[in-house]
Amino acid sequence: MKEYPELRPLIIRKFKRNGDVSKALELVEKSSGIQRARELATQHVDKAQEMVHRFPPALNNEASMARQSLINLAEFVLNRKK
């Protein structure tokens, strides 16, 4: 909405008018919002993985697998496709 304030009324009325959805998609695709959201998500994933690496050393295989699962989950969420 920062780049295209005309998106705001579409959202407020919950895209109820004909053409609202297509107009919203057009505006979102023209904006840098998707790229900015991806960059923010990447920062959060990096921070989450950094925190996992700060955990105390794993004392057994299950703990090691759980730690790796957290790292993998963060990557999956970031890179998943619809």
For the chain, the structural domain boundaries read: 1-31, 34-82
Residue 65 has pLDDT above 80, yes or no: yes
In this prediction, residue 82 carries a pLDDT of: 72
CA–CA separation, 29 and 23 (whole Å): 10
Which pair of structure tokens corresponds to residue 13?
Answer: 């009325």
CA–CA separation, 47 vs 17, rounded Å? 41
Q: 41-57, pLDDT tens digit by residue?
A: 999 999 999 999 999 99
- pLDDT band at residue 81, thresholds of 50, 70 and 90? confident
For residue 54, the one-letter residue type is: R
